[in-house]
Amino acid sequence: MARVAALSVYFGQIQERALAVIIRPPVIWDIHADESCQNVYRYIVIGALWGRADYSAKVTAAIEEAIRPYGGTSELKWTKVKKHNVRMYQAAIKAVSSLVKSGAVRFNCIVIDSHKSNHREYNEGDPELGFTKYTFTLLYKFARTHYKPEHQPHYYVHLDQRGTRYSPEVTRITLNRRDATEHGRTYEAYKQVHFIDSKESRLIQMADVFTGIIAAAWNGEHSAAHKHAMIEFARIGWNLPALNQDTGKYRGRQGIDIWFLDWTAKKKAAP
């Protein structure tokens, strides 16, 4: 009888834990993504600012507050960084980086060496299909980050609007199918993947700025003194030894993850 009672208690505890997992409310994540240097420089970078959806308004407000003393702007963008507005951009970077350190938001990016992309063999000769696959690769990292049943993630992905014949809805469906196959997820974690105009989102704008900084570091695109100053400002703020290398051994420490998609599976850094 004692053994039966012990087993009853044991299975009761298992049931309670299972129910706790089942009834745990989902965590809603906002992912704001943009790309830099596509079809222009050797290294393509796709980056995303991401965090809990209930923090998005807080991050947006922090950006607005940071740039207001400098007159603000309708759109923050790496290509719009000039000598006269460097301080405004540095203030925006500092504000978001502070929230990265607090855990309110994080930044992940993927770096692709376009000189080693074999579109003929893997992408039906279509670089745009290859780019769509690279975006998929970055977005799928979030499912791998929250792979346990108790995580219960719901992802809302907001991509900077661009001209392409490949539907983001197909990307969403494919992400969910891969997630179900690899992790046994029984529901669709990726609730939305869509394009929006970056002018409507400060978070996409800052994803563009962060991505642009890292792409410039990898491509050596910092001949202008103010651009070089921006790269150094970000590197110091993010507490990284360099921005033109994979952050593998620093991953999870700073909230800034630079992932070099190395075709040879060997760690490399840009020259």
Q: What is the pLDDT of residues 159-194, one digit of tens each?
A: 999 888 899 999 999 999 999 999 999 999 999 999
Which pLDDT value is given to residue 261? 87
Contact 203, 32 (CB under 8 A): yes
Contact 105, 96 (CB under 8 A): yes
Which pLDDT value is given to residue 253? 58
Residue 207 burial (CB count, 10 A): 31
All residue ranges of the chain with pLDDT < 50 are 4, 6-7, 9-11, 14, 16, 18-21, 266-271
The model's pLDDT over 189-212, given as tens digits with 9 standing for 90+, comes to 999 999 999 999 999 999 999 999
CA angle 40, 216, 95 (to 5 degrees): 130
For residue 203, how far is the Cα from the chain centroid? 11
Which pLDDT value is given to residue 20? 47
Which pLDDT value is given to residue 10? 47
**Which strand (E) or helix (H) includes residue 45?**
strand 43-52
Query: Could you give phi then psi for residue 185, rounded to 5 degrees?
Result: -65, 130
Contact 17, 73 (CB under 8 A): no
Which pLDDT value is given to residue 269? 44
What is the dihedral sign for C-alpha 121, 124, 128, 132? negative
Which pLDDT value is given to residue 151? 85
Contact 151, 184 (CB under 8 A): no
